Amino acid sequence: MKIYFDVAYLYYLPHFEPVIDALLEQNNATLELGVVFISSPPEAIIESLQSKNVTSKVINADERLSFYQQQKPNWVIFGHAAEIAEDLNAQCNTALILHGLGPKSTYYNASSAPIQYRFVESDVRKERLQSLYPDKTFINTGYTKLDPAVNNSSIKLDLESLGLDPKKPTLLYSPTFYPSTIENFPKHWPQDFSDYNILLKPHYLSLIKSAYKKQRELLTHWASFDNVYLADVSEQSLVPFMATADVMISETSSALFEFIALDKPVIICHFLKLRWGYRGLLKFRLNKRLSDDYELFQSMGSNINRYSELHDAVTKSLNGSADYADARRSITKQVVGNVDGHSSRRVAEFLLNNSA
């Protein structure tokens, strides 16, 4: 049996790796697993896959279809709405493990793609997707990316080895690439939080795209402070950072849903740096990108509209971490589903029991 995981962007991999591990646990001698990248990943990632006997290939985006057709796999797993699935469905099964939880409308629009199966996180999400796409097949498995946080207590970062103080509370600032707050944070803001460790885990695109050069300059500057650690581009999984941190700071990012699923407090920042095409009367363009799930951010944690409110919000979040506990549980059930550490196993079992 042959299964390929299509990694169009490196940040898809943390959603796939727990499934790969769950498949390997089956000790199926006939199982062949491969990961296909469209750009060369860091060597550490290649070595990690090799250590598990998982093959890796780097193939141009427009050559992936012919590669899969030649290889004749049983399954190809995508992390986005891949149109090439339409030509693959005649010879193998295709499935979607979407690279996030929302709140952008693409979470729902992704199911318009010609992918046969989609693994989803919760009953609520499944029911809504099924109503939107009654002819599609959705399987409720839970959210694979979080399994390592539930199953592996050693996944936490060694703060001391990163030059940080294990005795200090730890903040995780995980901004997205757009719309982002990075440009609206003060240049020397780590000084305002000298009593805290700060983990910087930006979006992958902030680290590689030329359009976000100014973001990288700020991130690199902040990393020069003694209480700050900036994730390397090879550290693709946010999970170890979430497992380590006490509070998470971000914008309206789907990663906030992941953090509250670990029953930890979040701070949602609304002082975004918007392009001219998304400001004023044109703000409808930004709203168009968001789904109805956007409203959930108002109740999951502390919402702030300017940087000057952040220090007070951090203090309140740490001292009153139970304040939003009921909301965290309710939203987690609705969006993330059952966080029991077995989501990847459920995906693996479906793949093995339904081969083409």
Amino acid at 242: M
- Mean pLDDT over 231-255 rounds to 93
| Closest among 95, 227, 122, 235 to 170, alpha carbons compared | 227
Considering the domain architecture, whether residues 308 and 347 belong to the same structural domain is answered as no
Are residues 161 and 42 located together in one domain of the fold? no
**131 and 270 part of one domain:** no
Query: Sign of torsion, CA 229 230 233 239?
Result: positive
Contact 157, 199 (CB under 8 A): yes
Q: Is the pLDDT of residue 262 over 80?
A: yes
Range of the domain at 86: 2-143+339-353
pLDDT tens-digit map of 127-172 = 999 999 999 999 999 999 999 999 998 999 999 999 999 999 999 9
The CATH code of the domain that includes 135 is 3.40.50.11380
Pair (271, 190) in one structural domain: yes
Are 7 and 38 in contact by the 8 Å Cβ rule? The answer is: yes
Question: Collapsing DSSP states into helix, strand and coil, what is residue 279?
Answer: coil
Q: Could you tell me which of 182, 206, 10 has the C-alpha nearest to residue 99?
A: 10
Q: Are residues 204 and 260 in the same domain?
A: yes
On whether both 104 and 240 belong to a single domain, the answer is no
> In this predicted model, what pLDDT tens digit does every residue of 169-178 receive, in sequence order?
999 999 988 8
The answer to whether residues 74 and 38 belong to one domain is yes
Rounded to an integer, the average pLDDT of 328-332 is 96
Contact in structure between 297 and 268 (CB atoms under 8 Å): yes
pTM above 0.85, yes or no: yes
